[in-house]
A and B are shown apart, each in its own frame.
Chain A
Amino acid sequence: MRYLALTKLEREQMIKDTGISHVDELYAAAPKEFILTKKIDELPDHKGEIEVETHLRELSEKNKPASSMPFFLGAGCYYHHVPAAVDHLIQRSEFLTAYTPYQPEISQGTLKTIFQFQTIIARLTGMEVSNASLYDGATGLVEAVLMAVRIKKNKRKVAILGDLNPDYLAVLKTYTDLAEIELISKNEIDKNTAAVITAYPDFYGNTLNLEKVRVQADEVEALMIVVVTEILSLGLMEAPKMADIVTGEAASIGVGMNFGGPHLGFFACKKQYVRQIPGRICGATVDEDNKESFVLTLNAREQHIRREKATSNICSNQGLCAVAFTIHSFLLGEIGFKDLALLNHQKACKLADILAKIRGVEVTNDSFFNEFTIKLSKDAKEVNQKLLERGVIGGLALDNNLMVIAVTELTSEKDMEILAKHLKEIL
């Protein structure tokens, strides 16, 4: 078996040197009746690389990837291009097969990358500090809410302004039910409100006025949480710098869709809350030779030190995805990041204009970034099914004939024409 390192001879020698006659003697502490004497029969035996690859290739070929047809799904997961350099670099052993950088002397590569990641996130969001990543946007929102409730000690209500991604809301609800935090709407905001949450853009693609949210938060001394499901939007839209916490999903840059994971949760906030942040953080310091160095810091917040008093139970984060994000962000740079955002917006505007001309289609947004909502004259799920029969993956079909359409740099003019043609025929 190609991944096992010991030869038969080495095993024999090691068994002898260990002072035993059979490896099962090492399992003596386990009740004998529970030791399997044979391999598990219900599972197949080991397979060679060719057989494994063939099986997995066959499974992959049963799926229809976005690259194989016109594709308009978004809703928190976007089909973007990942430059070849990103995937090449993250497969370097030194990034791919390193553990969490707990030994800074031999982990500066990872640590410098995280430090730069934190800087990029802080600048994009207009916040002062960032952590080293969280699982995804939905759990990022959870952590933001739990942190706000920790900061606003006796307040147990959190208000949701506007429309959140339903997947995020579902995840948030699991945790707030558990923590006995009440989720309320705009009209229910009162003195017991610890935080107000707003999505930027919202689930339907609208880009809302954040200043108003700030005012509403201030009126009841609540924290303002902004959740961003499409980080590329921050290349075109102003940074939500009036917020206290900005969290969300960064998989659009460098990571990819991966059927919904791994993605990349980010978490940034004002500096005054730094000791309440969940998860790992990298900081700058010096070594014994007084050279600039980087190290995981503020560990007293974390579970391996604080145990039951930690700010979160998180340990592993999305390290390699953060590396991918950082590489892609640097490739884009100041010019490319803004241009890519503008390109997404321009293509979305173009498709919105095309669709608006079709009878039975109404674009519902006044404003949007790269995703907007159309109201159809027929049931959106049925329309989507017909689109699928014609080789198009439509937007996300909702009730009330609504469909959320996402456009990225990978949406071609031909894709737009095909969608328009079929919608005309279907509606």
Chain B
Amino acid sequence: MNEVLLNNTEIDSEENFIPKNVGLNAEEDLLFRKSRKGSCGVDLPKIADFKLRISGKKRVEIGLPELTEPDVIGHFVNLSSENYSIDAGFYPLGSCTMKHNPRLNEKVARFAGFANIHPLQDESTVQGALELMYELQNWLKIMTGLHSTCLAPAAGAHGELAGILTIRAALIAKGDARKIILIPDSAHGTNPATATTCGYDIKIIASNKKTGEVDFDEFKKLVEEYGKDIAAIMLTNPNTCGKFESRVKDIADIIHEIGAYFYCDGANYNAIVGKIKPADIGVDVMHFNLHKTFSTPHGGGGPGCGPIAVSKELTDFTPSPIVVKEGNTYKISAPKSTVGKIKGFHGQFGMMVRALSYMMSHGADGLKQVAEDAVLSANYILAKLKNHYNVPFDGPCMHECLLNDKIQKEKGITTLDIAKALVEYGMHPMTVFFPLVTSGAMLIEPTETENKVVIDKFINTMIYIANEVKSDNGNKFHSYPISTPRRRVDEVRAAKNAILTFDQLIKN
């Protein structure tokens, strides 16, 4: 393997070498091809010979490249230039809430008193950390009007799992284990995946074709059919069509009448934070995505943090740990009939620090404004684009608006082409082909941290694309993007012949 590494660092001989016209757009190769034997990016003390006390043999080779600190920094700086990011521009991914990530949050999370503490330290030495978790629990409780919280879940899907486990435990404690969970067809894939993980059968509620909301009659039919076999409904509100479920209280009442629970997927909480308390509309459990509503960075895929808030009735059953206050002392504790632990230690504490920093920065007044601005911006986009793109569901939207490619498809241009055209024009596309309830979905979530100039530029770009398609100039979009580090990639090939490591790549 080392030969491979070494060979790849060779460059052509002087007479054969022709420089490439790359300017600032140089290609960054994998570091596994840039190893230079004898290099090391750290200085460690020399270790005198001693007798090893491992049971097996000493490891001879790992297979890491050999590099210096400048090599590594150069590599990642160049790699970063092949990435788009929220700091670089508009990122209207629906149901993802790509809002600005304040740098203050990063700074405070790095205080030694937060970053360098161990989860098993004596509680007397981590009172500040526990106090922070307690404060965060209070913020979430007050905002939702719910009774208690658990911060342990690592991400949204993990929060769903925590919530459904809590419901399951409460039902079992009543001697009333049930089998079914109702989920609308517009739900995120994590909802059905979570319900199955928790051992439930799923019944899908169709969305109303006119409104994009849960079809109330379909819902009632399912309740009549399955009645007390139903453990819960998992409802995203506002839903992924960008709609506030107008019958939400009626749905909650019916669900409660049959002794089932209302699980609210809080992925779209940004539309109502500080504006509507989920407890008021009948929610029994809700998860938060601290990495959406409360601005902790997505980091190219994580880490997230997905706390849950629950009603009084469910308080004793949530996962552990929770933080309690006794006198002036904060303690790690477990709910009376907890379903147990779902994650190592206490959850994604570093994200909790960032989220609290964000909540304090906004305060009650600011959070209400967050929701209003997010909703206003989405409706402004909807108003400007509704004459150019098909809007599958009438009426105002919440913090994201849903369009589809019905008009453009007649000219052979699909949502995928529109998304890739946006990439070519220098912005990140919206969420595409989701929700599944409308064909060729485009779900646009601008968030409250984009100003009108940015939003107008997006609107103009979308109108330009629609006009080009209309006047039969849309075929160019099939080949877009062309100015990006890569053009469209062959996803079929990637899946068919899975090459997942450098070893497989060089063998191929």
How far is the CB of B144 from the nearest CB of chain A, in Å?
Answer: 10
Say yes or no: A234 contacts B32, CB within 8 Å.
Answer: no
How far is the CB of A243 from the nearest CB of chain B, in Å?
Answer: 14
A residues 52-87 in Cβ contact with B at 8 Å? 52-53, 55-68, 71, 73, 75-77, 79, 83, 85, 87
**Chain A, 14-50, contact with B by CB distance < 8 Å: what is the 0/1 string?**
1101111001011111110011100111111111010
How far is the CB of B3 from the nearest CB of chain A, in Å?
Answer: 14
Cα separation A71 to B196 with both chains bound (whole Å): 43
Given that A39-B368, A209-B55 are known contacts, is A106 also in contact with B249, CB under 8 Å in the complex?
no
**Chain A hits for B348, CB < 8 A:** 261-262
Residue of B72, B110, B119, B428 touching A259 (CB-CB under 8 A)? B119
A282 within 8 A of B: yes
Cα separation A281 to B72 with both chains bound (whole Å): 23
B369 within 8 A of A: yes
B54 within 8 A of A: yes
Q: Which residue of A lies closest to B424 (CB)?
A: A105
Cα separation A141 to B379 with both chains bound (whole Å): 45
Cα separation A289 to B280 with both chains bound (whole Å): 55
**Chain B hits for A178, CB < 8 A:** 165, 168, 197-199
At the interface with chain A, which of B6-14, B218-226, B467-475, B488-496? Answer: B488-496
Say yes or no: B127 contacts A285, CB within 8 Å.
Answer: no
At the interface with chain B, which of A112-120, A185-193, A416-424? Answer: A112-120
A residues 308-361 in Cβ contact with B at 8 Å? 308-310, 312-323, 327, 329-343, 345-346, 349, 352
Q: Which residue of B lies closest to A25 (CB)?
A: B396
Cα separation A191 to B169 with both chains bound (whole Å): 31
A291 within 8 A of B: yes
**Chain B hits for A203, CB < 8 A:** none
Say yes or no: B344 contacts A34, CB within 8 Å.
Answer: no
Residue of A27, A236, A310 touching B54 (CB-CB under 8 A)? A236
Q: Which residue of A lies closest to B301 (CB)?
A: A319
Say yes or no: B121 contacts A316, CB within 8 Å.
Answer: no
Say yes or no: B80 contacts A261, CB within 8 Å.
Answer: no
Say yes or no: A262 contacts B30, CB within 8 Å.
Answer: no
How far is the CB of B374 from the nearest CB of chain A, in Å?
Answer: 10
Say yes or no: A64 contacts B121, CB within 8 Å.
Answer: yes
Say yes or no: B193 contacts A313, CB within 8 Å.
Answer: yes
Say yes or no: B350 contacts A46, CB within 8 Å.
Answer: no
How far is the CB of A283 from the nearest CB of chain B, in Å?
Answer: 4
How far is the CB of A314 from the nearest CB of chain B, in Å?
Answer: 6
Given that A39-B364, A105-B485 are known contacts, is A29 also in contact with B246, CB under 8 Å in the complex?
yes
Say yes or no: A43 contacts B75, CB within 8 Å.
Answer: no
Cα separation A388 to B125 with both chains bound (whole Å): 9
**Chain A hits for B370, CB < 8 A:** 4
B residues 105-133 in Cβ contact with A at 8 Å? 106-122, 124-129, 131-132
**Chain B, 356-385, contact with A by CB distance < 8 Å: what is the 0/1 string?**
110011111111111011011101101110
Say yes or no: A39 contacts B129, CB within 8 Å.
Answer: no
Say yes or no: B495 contacts A393, CB within 8 Å.
Answer: no
**Chain B, 39-51, contact with A by CB distance < 8 Å: what is the 0/1 string?**
1111011010011
A residues 4-18 in Cβ contact with B at 8 Å? 4-7, 10-11, 13-15, 17-18
Say yes or no: B344 contacts A5, CB within 8 Å.
Answer: no
Residue of A57, A119, A320, A343 touching B44 (CB-CB under 8 A)? A343
Given that A109-B82, A119-B32, A336-B41 are known contacts, is A130 also in contact with B501, CB under 8 Å in the complex?
yes
Max chain A C-beta neighbours (<10 A), residue from B82, B83, B129, B351: B83
Say yes or no: A258 contacts B349, CB within 8 Å.
Answer: yes
Q: Which residue of A lies closest to B31 (CB)?
A: A330
Cα separation A44 to B139 with both chains bound (whole Å): 10
Cα separation A106 to B249 with both chains bound (whole Å): 42
**Chain A hits for B248, CB < 8 A:** 30-31
Cα separation A249 to B343 with both chains bound (whole Å): 12
| Number of interface residues, chain A, beta carbon within 8 A | 208
Cα separation A284 to B189 with both chains bound (whole Å): 25
B residues 468-508 in Cβ contact with A at 8 Å? 479, 481, 484-491, 493-495, 498-505, 508
Say yes or no: A46 contacts B362, CB within 8 Å.
Answer: yes
A167 within 8 A of B: yes
Given that A96-B101, A98-B86, A260-B344 are known contacts, is A338 also in contact with B127, CB under 8 Å in the complex?
no
Say yes or no: A18 contacts B376, CB within 8 Å.
Answer: yes
Q: Which residue of A lies closest to B108 (CB)?
A: A56
Residue of B64, B116, B379, B487 touching A337 (CB-CB under 8 A)? B64
B20 within 8 A of A: no
Residue of B65, B128, B450, B479 touching A59 (CB-CB under 8 A)? B128
Q: Which residue of A lies closest to B321 (CB)?
A: A260
A244 within 8 A of B: no
Cα separation A346 to B107 with both chains bound (whole Å): 35
Say yes or no: A303 contacts B189, CB within 8 Å.
Answer: yes
**Chain B hits for A183, CB < 8 A:** none
How far is the CB of B459 from the nearest CB of chain A, in Å?
Answer: 10
Cα separation A123 to B2 with both chains bound (whole Å): 13
Say yes or no: A105 contacts B125, CB within 8 Å.
Answer: no
Cα separation A356 to B28 with both chains bound (whole Å): 52
Given that A116-B31, A262-B303 are known contacts, is A57 also in contact with B489, CB under 8 Å in the complex?
no
Residue of B31, B104, B158, B339 touching A135 (CB-CB under 8 A)? B158
Q: Which residue of A lies closest to B79 (CB)?
A: A109
Say yes or no: A103 contacts B84, CB within 8 Å.
Answer: yes
A297 within 8 A of B: yes
A400 within 8 A of B: no
**Chain A hits for B147, CB < 8 A:** none
Cα separation A206 to B54 with both chains bound (whole Å): 8
Cα separation A129 to B143 with both chains bound (whole Å): 44
**Chain B hits for A36, CB < 8 A:** 274-277, 368
5 residue pairs bridging A and B, Cβ less than 8 Å apart = A60-B112, A99-B298, A103-B423, A106-B83, A310-B193
